[in-house]
Amino acid sequence: MGKLVTYTSNAILFLFLSAPVYAQDIIINEQDLNFKIPDLSTVLTFMVQFFFVVAGLFALLYLLWGSFDWIISGGDQTKVDNARKKIQSALVGTIIIVASLSLIVTLEKLVFREKICFGVSCPIRVPALLKDV
């Protein structure tokens, strides 16, 4: 019971001892930072492009892994089959990546005429939800 009273009294004491804070707006000068602060569309565009780069690298590494397994299989048919499956999977993944990139670029350039962008050939356009009053 004594601890509860002590904790409660300390909480009330610290609640009423807080000093008022006079907050000010932070003015950030981009020239002092030596770089431009990215907005949401720039970050999302980077993430989309980064995803495709990483997917391509994984497909390449999986292809190399499968080819290395084929080389060291030593003629064992099960190892050759496993290596062939890895190589086929890597090639199918690469085809899917290239097809999706070409489809997205076609949609951005020809169909939507860069009014709607998904971040591959032009930056993502994010509508302004909050407008300055």
pTM: 0.65
CA distance 55 to 94: 8
- Examine residue 21 and state whether it is found in any structural domain, yes or no: no
pLDDT digits (tens, 9 = 90+) for 31-81: 777 777 777 778 888 898 999 999 999 999 999 999 999 999 998 999 999
For the residues of 33-78, what is the DSSP string, one character each? HTSPPP-HHHHHHHHHHHHHHHHHHHHHHHHHHHHHHHHTTTT-HH
Please give the DSSP secondary-structure letter assigned to residue 25.
P
- Examine residue 22 and state whether it is found in any structural domain, yes or no: no
- Examine residue 91 and state whether it is found in any structural domain, yes or no: yes
- Examine residue 28 and state whether it is found in any structural domain, yes or no: no
| Total of domains in the chain | 1
- Examine residue 27 and state whether it is found in any structural domain, yes or no: no
List the domain range (segments joined by +) for residue 96.
63-124
Instruction: Over range 106-120, report the average pLDDT.
Output: 84
- Examine residue 19 and state whether it is found in any structural domain, yes or no: no
pLDDT range class, residue 133, cuts 50, 70, 90:
very low
